[in-house]
Amino acid sequence: MKIVVAGGTGFLGQPLVSELLRRGHSVAVLTRNPSRVEVGTPLLWDGRSQGAWSADVAGADAVMNLSGENIGESRWTDERKRRLVSSRLEPTRAIVEALQSDPSRSRTLVNVSAVGIYGVRGDDVLDETSPHGTSFLSDLVERWEEAARQADSVARVVLPRLGVVLGPGGGALEQMAMPFRFGAGGPIASGHQWMSWIGRDDAIRFFVHAVERDAVQGVYNATAPEPVRNRDFAKALGRALHRPSLIPVPAFALRAMFGELADELLIGGQRVVPKRALDEGFVFETPTIDAALERAL
């Protein structure tokens, strides 16, 4: 199968490309900087405009879009919000436009989304049918998914809503583990908030599952079947690192440092379950937080 991946050089994208190649697929990676592509064939693009890359996308059997700046990297200033939006909508719209240039082909678009679409929901159990939130992040994700759905007439569109991806060598876990390594780890604020997560290997397996099975279509919660409260995650991380997990991070300090981001990503949370994936028989290799952290660390 000929597959094109956008966002194929990052924490999630690079091992995804490696797995696709291992399975015998031909993989090209859309990139602004070809020197960063360590696996797969680089395809130069600017993430906005049509170009020579468009023919490769139009002729692909599957396109996987993982583009987008890191949501949790820094405080959400107005300029930062603008970049978060444009880094998702512009590449998605460019990919859809390229696909629409050849409507005769049968292909798949896997466009990564996020559980942030549900907003901060307390203890509510959220599946794919749950209503969306009204925050900045939920609005962003809703617009992102709508941009991808413009390809419905020319592709089988799959929208995996990712939780926090846990894996070795980077991502959110590297940041979360640092205070624990120095013996200063603990829950965030009350620790009562829910954390929906997925092991990186399981996320990659689901993406491959979505590409290789024609029955997979539409929205899926790409999260492990057992979300955890933040305090339980902190205990599990402490166990995995053989470090204490007793020092909480106060909410006021997080709000002072991160503003709106703190309330949506750190102090708030969602209790998301992967109902569709489980109903359709997808099996998670690391369904529990202890198993995922053991593999990641």
User: How far, rounded to the nearest angstrom, does the alpha carbon of residue 11 sit from its chain's CA centroid?
Assistant: 10
Does 215 reside within a domain?
A: yes
Cα end-to-end distance, the chain, whole Å: 33
Q: Which residues of 58-68 are buried (b: 16+ CB within 10 A; e: fewer)?
A: bebebbbbbbb
Mean pLDDT, all residues of the chain: 96
**Tokens representing 295?**
């593999």
Does 12 reside within a domain?
A: yes
**Most distant CA pair in the chain, distance:** 59
What's the rounded Cα separation, in Å, for the pair 291 and 114? 22
What pLDDT score does 170 carry? 84
Q: Are 208 and 147 in contact (CB under 8 A)?
A: no
What pLDDT score does 169 carry? 85
Does 237 reside within a domain?
A: no
Number of independent structural domains in the chain: 1
What's the rounded Cα separation, in Å, for the pair 249 and 127? 29
What pLDDT score does 277 carry? 98
Give the pTM. Answer: 0.95
Does 108 reside within a domain?
A: yes
Residue pLDDT, tens place only, 75-130: 999 999 999 999 999 999 999 999 999 999 999 999 999 999 999 999 999 999 99
What's the rounded Cα separation, in Å, for the pair 169 and 166? 10
Residue pLDDT, tens place only, 26-43: 999 999 999 999 999 999
- Least Cα distance to 137 among 33, 268, 35 occurs for 268
Does 245 reside within a domain?
A: no
pLDDT band at 73 (very low <50, low <70, confident <90, very high): confident
**What's the average model confidence in pLDDT over 183-198?**
94
What's the rounded Cα separation, in Å, for the pair 96 and 90? 10
Task: Quickly list DSSP for 8-47.
Answer: TTSTTHHHHHHHHHHTT-EEEEEES-GGG--SSEEEE--S
Does 103 reside within a domain?
A: yes
Does 11 reside within a domain?
A: yes
Does 250 reside within a domain?
A: no
What pLDDT score does 205 carry? 98
Q: Are 199 and 286 in contact (CB under 8 A)?
A: yes
Report the CATH number that the domain containing residue 118 is assigned in CATH.
3.40.50.720
Residue pLDDT, tens place only, 16-25: 999 999 999 9
**Tokens representing 245?**
């997990």
Supply the range of the domain harboring residue 40: 2-165+196-223+273-285
Residue pLDDT, tens place only, 227-281: 999 999 999 999 999 999 988 999 989 899 889 999 998 999 999 999 999 999 9
Provide the CB-side half-sphere exposure for 59 (13 A, CA): 8
